[in-house]
Amino acid sequence: MRKSRVVGMAAVAAGSVALLFGASILALRSTWTSNYVERRAISFLEARLNARVEVGTIELILYPSLAVMGTEFRATRRDSSESVPFVAIDRFQISGSPWALWRRHVSSIELDGLELRIVRGASGQPAMTRPKNDVLVDRVVVRNGRLVIVPRNPQKVPLEFALHEVSVTDFGFDRSSTYAAQITNPKPTALIQAEGHIGPWDATDFATTPLDGVYLLANGDLGTIKGIGGALESSGKFAGVLERIRVEGTTTSRDFQLKMAGNAVPLETQYVAIVDGTSGDTILEQVNATLGSSRLTARGSIASMPGAKARAISLRVTADDARFEDLLRLAIKGDADPPMRGLLNLDTSFVLPPSDEDIPLRLDLNGTFSIAQGQFTSDAVQDKVDALSRRGRGQPKNQNVNNVLSAFGGTFALEKGVLSLPRLQFSVNGARVDLAGNYRLPTETMAFRGTLSLDAPVSKTVTGFKSILLKAVDPLFRRNGAGTQIPIAITGTVAKPAFKVEARRIFSRK
């Protein structure tokens, strides 16, 4: 009798537990529970983000683990006049054990189709007061996301990054978290892998969020920037806050080229820059570049312009004893050797505004240059230079004067593909040419006028009977301390220049 009573009591207890468990399951799966979870989640997020939060659908999943799934999450700033949410998520899932979730400890959050909009300069929102024990997430994973950085100036175009996959571990609003990310850079198109730390977060001003890490840029395509080409690789480290990140790194392009010419020259850089991660603008504190075997240095900025899709590059570029042929190889068409080699010293401004035109047509330069130990690679041109030096010395038949080194120097300006040289001086032993004119990069044609000055009088530039005849006109050509001064014009191309004496200017003395 006692045994049957115990069995009966056990059956009643088991039935009660079953009913309680069943009731719990039904309660958890009920609309009331879903609505309660939705209200608590929205209330929690609105407090943390200081925003209006909306959710399309929300559902509780009990198996294989407790999870909250939802769609169409939207968070909009309370004090914003814009209706565009600064956080939008197509689908999300929050998973964890019931006890852990009750204690605000989440095992994982998966976000698909996240769009995060950071509006630079958005401020004026009240600071949030967080509890000491804020929410903690073991791992957050973002897939198929998009980061949109909206500039302070509404006339400027937003900067967008495709977030292939981003994972954040040990996430909390009040702490630093570890992250790993795969991002597509817009221009030049490239895949960037980065890892480091981010946070603590201030949802009232994302721009002040601390950030550090290392990055690797692979398979960069410079061809996505109009006018240039080549593959790009880069690596480095960074630290700061989102609106001011200090970056130190290197870049390598083994086949850098201007598409107008199509000749590849290796380019490597080491740089230190300050990047505004909320606008994409960059201050280049120091850039040490090696183009071919030539070293150049640069400082300046890469900044957005009103209404433009790209950024303007504004630099100060200097070079000491660079190889002139390295720069010529970029600008001259064809596979032949550059028409001249020598040591280049350069000091110029460099402004590249955003435009759909090729780089040589929109690049603005303004500066000074000098070329020492210059020598033409074309035998025909070098022979003319050697002959000029012989005549200038008054030794027109002296064949020991050959392979003469030349020197160039002057001021220049490049605008819309036209290189203007208001003051250009070319000299060899015994002769000097002072010119002014221009060189057109697209057609490789030139038009210069100036004077040829020789140390020797005109009668000494030839031999025999011609020399005797020209002695009578030596005074006509002797000017400004030169034995001979002749007005000239140079046209044609660099490979095939045409020299002409302007006889009228001889008599007009202009």
Comparing 269 with 357, the larger pLDDT belongs to 269
Residue 114, class by beta-carbon neighbours within 10 Å (0-12 exposed, 13-18 middle, 19+ buried)?
buried
**pLDDT at res. 389:** 83
| Residues 483 and 456: beta-carbon distance below 8 Å | yes
Sole residue written with tokens 């070098």: 382
- How many Å apart are CA 185 and CA 216, to the nearest integer? 12
pLDDT band (50, 70, 90) for residue 84: confident
Task: Write down the mean pLDDT value for the chain.
Answer: 79
How far, CA to CA in Å, does 32 sit from each of 18, 43, 229, 471? 21, 16, 60, 115
∠ CA 206-210-212, rounded to 5°: 130
Read off the amino acid at residue 218: A
| Residues 374 and 325: beta-carbon distance below 8 Å | no
User: Would you state the structure tokens that stand for residue 126, as one six-digit string?
Assistant: 């009240």
User: Would you state the structure tokens that stand for residue 466, as one six-digit string?
Assistant: 């011609």
Query: What is the tens place of the pLDDT at every residue in 296-313?
Result: 999 999 887 666 666 788
CA dihedral of residues 325, 328, 334, 335 (deg, nearest 10): 20
DSSP 224: G
Where is average pLDDT lowest: 64-68, 415-419, 488-492? Answer: 64-68
How far, CA to CA in Å, does 489 sit from each of 117, 202, 215? 60, 68, 54
Comparing 82 with 89, the larger pLDDT belongs to 89
Read off the amino acid at residue 275: V
Average of per-residue pLDDT across 338-342: 83
Average of per-residue pLDDT across 107-120: 85
Phi then psi for 98, rounded to 5 degrees?
A: -55, -45
Within 10 angstroms of residue 339's Cβ, the number of other Cβ atoms is 19
pLDDT band (50, 70, 90) for residue 124: very low
pLDDT band (50, 70, 90) for residue 503: confident
pLDDT band (50, 70, 90) for residue 120: low
Where is average pLDDT lowest: 149-158, 276-285, 339-348, 448-457? Answer: 149-158
DSSP 401: -
pLDDT band (50, 70, 90) for residue 480: confident
**pLDDT at res. 250:** 95
C-alpha distance across the termini of the chain, in Å: 138
